[in-house]
Amino acid sequence: MIYVELKTVILKKQMEWGRTITITEIADASGISRMTLHRMLKDRTYNASTDHLNKLCAYLQCDLDTLVRWEPDIPLAQEHVA
C-alpha cells in the first residue's frame, strides 16, 4: 500500500517555515483543487496522480520519499506459500 503523508509534511513545513500553510494556499500555488487536497488529507491511501505528487513536492520543497510511504500489502515470503 502506498500512503500519501501530506498532513505530516505540511505540519513539518509549517514548523520549518514558521507560519501556517493552508489548503487554499497549496491549491492556489500548485493548481491542485482544494477538494483533491482535502481527499489526500482525509484518506492517506488516496490514489494521487504523479502530476499531483510532482506539484506537491515542488511547492513543499520535499523529495517524493518524504511525501509518500510504501508498505507491502502481503509480505513477499508469504505470497508464494500455499
Whole-prediction pTM: 0.84
Could you tell me if 38 and 69 are in contact, meaning their C-beta atoms sit under 8 angstroms apart?
A: no
Alpha-carbon separation of residue 56 from 10, 60, 63, 80, 82 (angstroms)? 10, 6, 10, 37, 41
Note the pLDDT of residue 74: 78
Which domain, by its residues, includes 24? 2-79
Comparing 76 with 68, the larger pLDDT belongs to 68
Note the pLDDT of residue 26: 98
Cα–Cα distance measured from residue 48 to residue 68, given in angstroms and rounded to the nearest whole number: 10
Cα–Cα distance measured from residue 29 to residue 10, given in angstroms and rounded to the nearest whole number: 14
CATH classification of the domain holding 68: 1.10.260.40
Predicted confidence (pLDDT) per residue in 15-37, tens digit: 999 999 999 999 999 999 999 99
Structural domain count of the chain: 1
The label of the residue with cell 520543497 reads 61
